[in-house]
């Protein structure tokens, strides 16, 4: 029986990828190369510094550690400017009704996001009160696909991993959830998330009963 639901942020609750893209593209332009939306797919669910390394590799740019720190800070400043303007209208469809349903049934809810800016985003979306625990990029040492972030969320909630369900849009996140010993629902396309236990295009029409039926509980 499900006792806790653990949500990724970008791509599951809100599409912040478009703002990450704008900021990375601006950095790439400053460095003198173009950065496409297809390139941006490679950064989904990946930490900030790893994202920068992938971007520099695409542009064929080499940089010292110190230069990288400056670049990542610059990108983050731009990103923060973009996300200041996020409103609840940007919540992905069906997310709030599903959170309401979980709460009404006493299911614990956690956030497990690689982003160090997760709290700002939840607050802009006005959904912080739905979360019993928040584990973000400031709290974990090992990035997804390491299971640390999901195990930390389960420990915060006091729920064993076998009773946790993870909602993830990135392959690295799905892998992390499986390594944590959890049931993983992929959000998106099955072809990109072959390891997920179940894949949904999104939350509309999905509720706790549909989840239990899928799990076979």
Rounded Cα gap, residues 28 and 95, in angstroms? 33
- Tell me the number of residues near ligand B16 by CB under 6 A: 20
State which residue, 51 or 152, has the beta carbon closest to ligand B16.
51
Cβ neighbour number for residue 138 with a 10 Å cutoff: 11
Q: Which of 4, 5, 9, 182 binds ligand B16 (CB under 6 A)?
A: 9
DSSP alpha helices (H): ranges in the chain? 17-31, 37-41, 48-59, 65-83, 95-104, 118-125, 148-157, 171-179, 208-215
- Catalytic residue among 10, 101, 156, 169, which? 10
For position 47 contacting ligand B16 by CB under 6 A, the verdict is yes
- Catalytic residue among 8, 101, 136, 156, which? 8
For position 115 contacting ligand B16 by CB under 6 A, the verdict is yes
Q: Which does 25 bind (CB under 5 to 8 A by kind): Mg ion, ligand B16, none?
A: none
Q: Which of 2, 8, 151, 154 binds ligand B16 (CB under 6 A)?
A: 8
Q: What separation, in Å, do the N-terminal and C-terminal C-alpha atoms of the chain show?
A: 6
34 catalytically annotated: no
For position 10 contacting ligand B16 by CB under 6 A, the verdict is yes
Beta-carbon contacts of 69 under 8 Å, excluding residues fewer than 6 positions away, are none
For position 143 contacting ligand B16 by CB under 6 A, the verdict is no
| Span interacting with ligand B16, options 41-49, 93-101, 156-164, 180-188, rule CB under 6 A | 41-49
163: left (phi over 0), alpha (psi -120 to 50) or beta: alpha
Rounded Cα gap, residues 198 and 185, in angstroms? 5
15 catalytically annotated: no
Residues contributing to the site for ligand B16 (CB under 6 A): 8-11, 20, 43-48, 51, 76, 113-117, 137, 170
**Which active-site residues does the annotation give?**
8, 10
């Amino acid at each position: 029986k499900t006792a806790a639901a653990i949500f990724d942020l970008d791509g599951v609750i809100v599409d912040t990828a478009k703002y990450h893209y704008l900021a990375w593209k601006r950095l790439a332009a400053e460095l003198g190369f173009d950065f496409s939306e297809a390139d941006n797919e490679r950064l989904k669910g990946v930490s900030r510094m790893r994202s920068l390394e992938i971007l520099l590799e695409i542009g064929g740019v080499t940089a010292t550690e110190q230069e990288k720190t400056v670049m990542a800070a610059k990108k983050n400043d731009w990103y923060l400017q973009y996300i200041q303007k996020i409103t609840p209208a940007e919540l992905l469809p069906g997310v709030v009704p599903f959170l309401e349903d979980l709460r009404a049934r006493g299911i614990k809810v956690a956030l497990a996001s690689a982003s160090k800016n997760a709290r700002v985003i939840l607050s802009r979306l006005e959904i912080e009160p739905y979360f019993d625990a928040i584990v973000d990029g400031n709290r974990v040492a090992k990035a997804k696909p390491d299971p640390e972030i999901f195990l930390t969320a389960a420990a915060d909630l006091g729920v064993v991993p076998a009773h946790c369900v993870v909602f993830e849009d990135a392959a690295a996140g799905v892998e992390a959830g499986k390594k944590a010993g959890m049931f993983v629902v992929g959000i998106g396309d099955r072809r990109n998330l072959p390891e997920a236990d179940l894949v949904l295009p999104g939350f509309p029409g999905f509720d706790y009963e549909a989840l239990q039926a899928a799990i076979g509980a």
